[in-house]
Amino acid sequence: MTPTYFFLGFAYAHKSRFKEAVEEFEAARVTTERNAGAVAGLSYSYALAGRKDETVRLLRELEEGYKQPFVRFPTRVPAYRVAAIYMALGDKERALEGYKRTGRLDGLTQSGSCL
């Protein structure tokens, strides 16, 4: 994936510029169709933008992809990123479960489990 799309997507999302964030992550997804990070970033942007149906659809796509490791996605998304998506959806319980998998409740570590 071109890192520019990925990092711009998160930058726009954190500035509440959701339309631009979605555009960047969609471009990242087209550029590398099998990149779970692009799917997670797009799902996160949808959640922040209040687009729950799209968010849930992409979360299911990630979960289905992990049932067949390395077939759908050659890489895995760290649990804290999926937890952030659930937090953006307002699902604090599932977000907390994801953060617990990382070994830290602040969700800032890059170590820990992947979904």
Query: Cβ distance 29 to 42 under 8 Å?
Result: yes
Q: Give the pLDDT confidence of 2-28 residue by residue, as tens digits.
A: 678 989 999 999 899 999 999 999 998
Name the class of domain 3-102.
mainly alpha
pTM: 0.79
59/104 Cα distance (integer angstroms): 22
- Which tokens is 50 given? 């209040």
User: Cα separations (Å) of 81 from 9, 65, 75, 89?
Assistant: 14, 16, 13, 13
Region 24-49: what's the mean pLDDT?
88
Give the domain ranges of the chain. Answer: 3-102
Burial class (CB in 10 A: 0-12, 13-18, 19+), 21: buried
Query: Cβ distance 41 to 10 under 8 Å?
Result: yes
